A = this chain, B = another copy of it.
Amino acid sequence: MTERHGVDMKAYESVDTPALLLDLDQVERNIRTLQSAATLTGMKLRPHAKAHKCPHLGRLQMAAGAVGLCCSKLGEAEVMAAGGIADILITTPVIGALKIARLVALARKATISVVVDDEQNIAELALAARTAGVTLRAFVEVDVGQGRCGVPPGPRAAELAHQVVRSDALTFAGLQGYHGAIQQAIGFTERKAAVLAAMARLETSLKDFRRAGLEVPVITGGGTGTFPIDVELGLLTELQPGSYVTMDANYDRVQWRAEPGPTPLGCPLSILASVVSRPSRQRAILDVGWKSASSDGGLPQVKDRPELRFEFAGDEHGALTIATGELDLLCGDRIELIASHCDTTVNLYDSFVIHREGRPQGSWPIAARGKSQ
């Protein structure tokens, strides 16, 4: 087992399974790669913490040069602020009295930016911020083609920005234009065409804003799959990739450049699983199922053993099969899987088991796990 997997399974005997392993050396390389790509092209990097939900990783990103972090949810932002992150953009609208009360409380502890696409929400944010004596930075979200949040390019976006500008408790921070669905378009040409279409919509909005006399300090967007294209285009001023830190099997299939070449990002994240039953010579049952590996992105892959196939076999079971020959695994043997989708897999665990050169170095809490509110 030891040689075949490339990690020393002996060293993991003290680690129970299922466990989420994270290779810190590779994490650091990924952080440097994205930070360099942004810095070299004059862009700022604001990594998305929704992918890792771990303040330790957020602090590593800040130390490498990030200007702040993004969070999807207010609950994640609260955890990151408590973990020492001083500048946070919440990339999904913060709606309703309960959340806005928490938001203005958080704005006393850190610089907080929100995204807006609704007049009533802006009015509520402005009132709450003024009452609490805090300032919130607000980005107007432009729908660049995903059909999710944001307003389409057109006069309404600029009207929302003017509403923000009129409020003394809100600062107009700029535009957000993010397209999640194109991040994993596998072919480079297809992905680049999709990015160009999205950025054209954002550019249209930008012109509207300038015509309306609005200065746009920051244009934020982009993700792990599009970063090589985003830095080349140069329209965005802040990038918000998240998955690049941990990576997963789906991002690992993305074609990063027009020409074949080495993948710029390695995959430090893996799921350590144990064999719990051996029903036949070609089949082993693992202790990993839907509750310890997400399925929304497809099937996890078996690390370093392309001849083996993993399939889900229930909430807490997976089946490992080999097409030809016999599986060389006994009950209790360990094997590593690569998550199909890092974000939703990380959200199933309470901590990462950190390792360097195949040796466990302790665990880092995934402190914002489950913080969907």
Residues of chain A touching chain B, judged by Cβ–Cβ distance below 8 Å, are: 13-14, 16-19, 50, 72-73, 92-93, 95-99, 117-118, 120-121, 143, 146-151, 180-181, 274-280, 283, 285, 287-288, 290-292, 294-296, 312-317, 319, 330-332, 341, 343-344, 347-350, 369-370, 372-373
What's the minimum C-beta distance from A72 to chain B, rounded to whole angstroms?
5
**Interfacial chain B residues near A369, Cβ < 8 Å:** 370
Q: Is the CB of B331 within 8 A of A348?
A: no
Closest chain-B Cβ to A276's Cβ sits at a distance in Å of 5
The 8 Å CB contact of A343, one of B99, B285, B313, B315, is: B315
**Shortest distance in angstroms between A345's beta carbon and chain B's nearest beta carbon?**
10
- Chain B residues lying within 8 Å of A19, measured Cβ to Cβ, are 373
The reply to whether A370 and B350 form a contact with Cβ atoms under 8 Å apart is: yes
A240 to chain B, nearest CB (A): 14
Among residues of B, the one whose C-beta sits closest to the C-beta of A151 is B279
A147 / chain B contacts, CB cutoff of 8 Å: 279-280, 283, 319
Name 20 interchain pairs, CB-CB below 8 A, sorted by A: A18-B372, A19-B373, A50-B316, A72-B315, A92-B276, A93-B276, A95-B276, A118-B277, A118-B278, A118-B331, A121-B332, A147-B319, A148-B314, A149-B276, A181-B314, A290-B343, A291-B372, A292-B372, A295-B295, A348-B370
Residues of B close to A373: CB separation below 8 A: 16-19
Give the residues in chain B near A277, CB-CB below 8 Å: 93, 117-118, 148-150
State the CA gap A151–B98 with chains docked (Å).
Answer: 54
The answer on a CB contact under 8 Å between A347 and B348 is yes
Question: Which residue on chain B has the smallest CB distance to residue A146?
Answer: B313
Bound: A372/B143 CA distance, A: 39
**Looking across the interface, which residue of chain B has its beta carbon closest to that of A348?**
B370
Q: How far is the CB of A115 from chain B (nearest CB, A)?
A: 10
Is B117 within 8 A of A16, CB to CB? no
Closest to A96 in B: B332
